[in-house]
Amino acid sequence: MVSGVSSQLLESLTLGRLVAALVLFTISSFVVDFTWKPRYPKSLPRVGSSGSLIGTLKGWFYYVTRYHSWVTEGYEKYSKKGRAFVVPSAPCRPQEIVVPRSQTAWMLEQPDRVLSTKEAHRDTLHNDYQFFGVDDHFPIQTIHKHLARNIVGLIPAVQDEVHSAIDATFGKDTENWRSLNLWEAWLGIVPRVTNRIIVGVPLCRNQEFLKCQVGFADDVVRNSFLLDMFPRVFQPLVAPFFVSSNWWHWRKSYSYAKPVIEQRLHDMERKDSGVDPAYEDWQPPEDMLTWLIRQAKVDGLSGELKAEMLSKRILPVEFAAIHTTVVTGFNLLLDLLSSEPSLGYIDGIREETSRVFVEENGAWTKKGLARLHRTDSAIKESMRFSHFARALTHRKVVAAEGVTNAVEGWHAPYGAFLMLDMAGTHRDPELYPEPDKYDAWRFSREREAYEAKPAEEKGDTEEAMRIKKLGMVTTSPEYLPFSHGRHACPGRFFVAHELKMILAYLVQNYELKPLAERPKSMWVGANFIPPVQATIEIRRRKGTV
């Protein structure tokens, strides 16, 4: 009888019924997802869709192609008047409340128990799936405690790696112009330099290890977008399939990293024990791996002192450092090379970096890099002009009672998402004259004029501090590539040094042909997709070593 029932069931499962069941399940999943999402007060204006079920479904449908224009519209209609507004988000996430610049302080000063950066990142990047449930709290805490105090000592190693990586990527042919894919070129430089301070030599030069780390970063970007398109009910079903590439890249990279990590653990343990004379004068390399081990011992976290866990702890750092720095450097060269050659941007950076490099006796120092005002300005202006996301500052409401806005009075319930509009701010003509123009000296003119003044004319300390804040690492409500507030990117000082050294070595040692026009990027949802097929023409300058 059981066999007969089974046969009848199998016969009833026609292709049409299976497709209908799948469609019904999909629609039901989106409806269930809608009921789970937080509701926002009607007093908050909406752009792109209403707060109804139909309006939300419509917002999800058009999210990929219209999100950028929706936020632009909201910025002009509401943000510039000091009002927050609601914009549709990706299907798996709640609609976002776009907080105006005038309320930045209110948003960023909320305690983590009310508005959480960590939980916002966790949801946006799908950490539980993509980073195997290992969050980025411990490595970020470690960076905060160790990077700044060691950055002066790291500069010589970074300079060494920058020079070696660029020589290997661009070659030393002084006779023939070489056509290179610019995206691939930056991938040949940044992962090496970044890993010099994450895992050190020789692992930072292991091309297979670096390919895995780049592959993992690509996986995170791609999968974040794909998983955003599925309702949460679907995600446990599809996520294992998507993140299989994450697992593969991590496992392969771990096969190269494991002996290095185990040796470091052994060496540091012998050093700390004080019983082995061979380690009396030995000092561990100052890199992220050492800092993680050192911090785990200080905090008594024995579970962190395992090679596998340490290899997973560096994954969020690898992702953040590689992906954002490659995009930033890629955009920087496109912006410089597509500018009118008569503006002399490349020549100006070449003159400044060459002069300061000689004055620093051929070795970069923190003080010398701080003197590169034009170079700093060119990078900062590119970060203002060529964003790779609509927003980089997000918060998730984690307080059970929600949070009430002190300015307008609206209430955001538990689970709501808040964001600051970086792209709208950076292209606001009230903040930046001619905002749609790349002006490499936008932030250096005033600094150079100030530095040229006699000491007695430089004014008070307040003016000096204002001038200093024109540098790229200083965040503000008007400048958000590194976010702002207490959760601003802790690695931005290293990134600034790294990009300055890369740009300095490039322009001093290579000729680069101007581009007739800048290759076009494309908005997809909340992200700006760079033209990764762009190529440049480059040749080694004669007379360089």
Q: Which residues are annotated as a binding site for heme?
A: 489
Alpha-carbon torsion (290, 295, 298, 303), positive or negative: negative
Cis peptide before 240 (omega within 30 of 0): no
Q: Are 235 and 92 in contact (CB under 8 A)?
A: yes
The rounded distance, in Å, linking the Cα atoms of 339 and 362 is 29
CA distances to 252, 326, 428 from 76, in Å: 48, 31, 9
Q: Are 449 and 387 in contact (CB under 8 A)?
A: no
Backbone angles phi, psi at 389, to 5 degrees: -155, 155
| Number of neighbouring beta carbons within 10 Å of residue 516 | 7
Contacts of 308 (CB under 8 A, 6+ apart): 254, 258
Annotate 158-197 with b (16+ C-beta within 10 A) or e (fewer): bbebbbebbeebbeeeeeeeeebebbebbbbbbbbbbbbb
Q: Summarize the annotated binding site as residue ranges.
A: 489
Contacts of 235 (CB under 8 A, 6+ apart): 92, 126, 129, 227
**Do the strands 510-512 and 403-404 form a parallel or antiparallel pair, or are they unpaired?**
unpaired
In order, the DSSP letters of 120-189 are HHHHHHTHHHHTTT--SHHHHHHHHHHHHHHHHHHHHHHHHHHHHHHHHHH---SSS-EEEEHHHHHHHH
Contacts of 175 (CB under 8 A, 6+ apart): 539
The encoded tokens of residue 388 equal: 């790779």
Element (H, E) at 424: helix 422-426
**Do the strands 403-404 and 393-397 form a parallel or antiparallel pair, or are they unpaired?**
unpaired
Closest CA to 420 of 384, 397, 391: 391
Element (H, E) at 397: strand 393-397
CA distances to 292, 306, 314, 356, 505 from 381, in Å: 34, 42, 30, 21, 20
**207-228 vs 315-337: helix crossing angle, rounded to 10:** 90
CA 357 to chain centre: 29
Q: Are 94 and 416 in contact (CB under 8 A)?
A: yes
